[in-house]
Structure 1
């Protein structure tokens, strides 16, 4: 067993937030107890941070930041993922997956591959202990490569849905991961936006042989949906489905995908009640041509 539960925090009846680090030894007992306490049908949601976090660094510990119910960091980016996903009740089991993403981008890139394999083993343990529970992943930045790297070696159905936010990953590698047994059965929602374009460019400069990043739309994959949240048409389509999301407020921001007002309601429904958001319905809605603006709507856009 290669993973460690660094801490278990009770967060309400029938629920715990497990903080799990990829590089330590693992006692599966705490995981089994947390799974056993869940209500029937409640999913497991694994949350994966990105570049520059590390559980081994006290000032950059993700478990005291975005993966905490009560972030201890006084930082504008310290938004509690489990709280915004409403995983502070009995809706599901939240697992904060920590890995060492400090150092250079090349060191963190190599570490993300190792972390992906460790995450795969964690998911296998969850499936062994609770084979009927859905497992979902949500990841930001380089954490997207960790999430996709967990798919090889897992059986079909091991991962139900994946939400990637401003993914620091390349499309060709993602296509290979999606061609695996687990990848072909998973549904992936990749959140993109022009405000992340500078960071995509920096990744392509650092990894010149990687090809196109996931921030660039490419040929469609069967169970993959790009969500370009910088486009007015996409925002209008999502609003029509009951997911109003604020447009980008700044031109450059790597964290816009989890800081924008309204995004967490979309992620919450995607991960906790997937039956309410069939991928085919979302794809069809986003593919519809945007309605021609009436004079009133056009005037409203000018004054935004």
Structure 2
């Protein structure tokens, strides 16, 4: 049982397409060796929707053929291989359809449901690490959950171009559970347009606040801007290469870029070797400014070698 599919339905957690109780299935997983990695999608996905069900797409071990290609998160995060210590994957779905501000409120509600699942997993096996990885507005679930879980229950959070505000994240990291968690904030200037739209459509917790795409300054957080050549070289040296940016605007490159999920797999499974201090060492002193990629002057293509035939 390398994987469980759970959905937030109102105030409770239910198994995806199963009438069994979540608690009974979780009890069967308490002796599984390896970490628990909870994966959550972002905006516009909805469980059981034929076109947008995340359990058929990014959260599936074997994704169905859909118009928009995406790699399988569970596969690239080390699940389904058959190794005895691969751990437990939890694919967590929630209704992310509708207007952006409505989905954001629903994400916070789903975060409280997620907190209940995390607490149950932690009580069943307190020594087993539980991590979270989410994209876009899915990051809101982990941020909300930090206010409702036992301290130490959630170890590492990877935010892939998260759609949430900095003040909200900092408040969560300052909570009892948050102080014992670590946040790895994946950003890219490819996502600037989406950060800007989020800030226009969703009211900030305090005037003038910015989304986490602008970076997070906290002792237990680090920001990795993955369209920065210095950052990519640093990650390549420490872990593995990530492909170069191919677009000026893209909301999904934080997980569709070749090698990205492989890097996140290492960050979740080797936290001792890949500490926040080690990640900070070798990063640039400042993040690139918003719009710096969108309005950058195009670089000329390298000339072909003299004797090479163009094809």
| Structure 2 residue aligned with 1:165 | 160
**Contact 1:245-1:262 within 8 A present in 2 as well:** yes
Report 1:167-246 matches (<5 A).
Answer: 167-210=162-205, 211-218=209-216, 220-246=217-243
Is the contact made by 1:22 and 1:118 (CA closer than 8 Å) also made in structure 2?
A: yes
User: How far did residue 17 of structure 1 move?
Assistant: 1.0
Higher helix fraction (1 or 2) = 1
Range that drifts further, 234-243 or 23-32: 23-32
Are the aligned partners of 1:238 and 1:286 in contact in 2 as well (CA < 8 Å)? no
Q: Does 1:254 align with 2:251?
A: yes
> After alignment, is 147-156 or 59-68 more displaced?
147-156
Q: What is the number of equivalent residue pairs in this alignment?
A: 276
1:271 to 268, 281, 285: 268
Q: Is the Cα–Cα contact under 8 Å of residues 239 and 266 in structure 2 kept in the other structure?
A: no
C-alpha distance in structure 1 between counterparts of 2:22 and 2:131, whole Å? 22
Per-residue deviation, 1:287: 4.6
Q: Distance in 1 between matches of 2:142 and 2:203?
A: 22
Conserved? CA contact 1:112–1:143, under 8 Å: yes
User: What is the match of residue 131 of structure 1?
Assistant: 126
- Separation (CA, whole Å) in 2 of partners of 1:132 and 1:233: 36
Q: 2:115 aligns with which of 115, 120, 144?
A: 120
What do residues 134-190 of structure 1 show as CA deviations (whole Å, max 9, x unaligned)? 000000000011111110122221111010101000001101111111111111101
C-alpha separation in 2, matches of 1:105 and 1:45 = 26
Alignment gaps of 5+ in structure 1:
1-14, 290-300
Unaligned runs of at least 5 residues, structure 2? 15-20, 287-299, 304-311
Query: What is residue 26 of structure 2 aligned with on the other side?
Result: 31
Match of 1:143 among 132, 138, 142: 138
